[in-house]
Amino acid sequence: MRSRIYFGSFCLPVVLLANTLFATILFATSNQASAQDESGVYGNDAKAIERVLRTQQAAWNRHDLEGFMAGYWNSPQLTFFSGAKEQDGWQATIDRYLAEYASPGHEMGQLQFSGLRVEVLAQAAAFVRGSWKLTMSDGKTPHGLFTLVFRKFPEGWKIIHDHTSAAE
């Protein structure tokens, strides 16, 4: 006579079969959800965020700082970190850009973003990493990295935090 191991009122083979079936369904469901996120809602959000950045790049290259700043949250709570300095608020951020790139003796150059990696964290939050490069009229090419935090507002995705660094 064979002995059986019971868990509560269930026999071990039934428990193993149920666990295997549950794990298979869970795995299939999580893969389906991932695929939907990549090509579904989150994929559309990632594309929308990339459009914000491409629109900013085009505005910069037209020397349109107001258009460039339209990608940022127009709020005193916006934060911008660069060069060991912190700018708090949309106005302080545009003032920094004006001083660095649009004042006498400075130029904006041509901006190029590359290596964009958009990670949508939730329905209204995303994290973006990438590289930037300016090509100046004298041939110099200042460049660096950035990390952005985006939030989705009724009017669309906006940068709420920017941490930009320049290569030494």
CA–CA gap between residue 168 and residue 164 (Å, rounded) = 13
Residue 78, CA distances (Å) to 2, 4, 88, 89 in order: 71, 65, 6, 5
**Total length of the chain:** 168
pLDDT in tens, the chain (168 residues): 555 555 455 444 444 434 443 443 334 334 434 434 455 567 899 999 999 999 999 999 999 999 999 999 999 999 999 989 999 999 999 999 999 998 888 899 999 999 999 999 999 999 999 999 999 999 999 999 999 999 999 999 999 999 999 997
Phi–psi pair at 11, nearest 5 degrees? -80, 150
Contact 113, 53 (CB under 8 A): yes
The pTM of this model reads 0.75
DSSP code per residue over 87-122: EESHHHHHHHHIIIIISTT----EEEEEEEEEEEEE
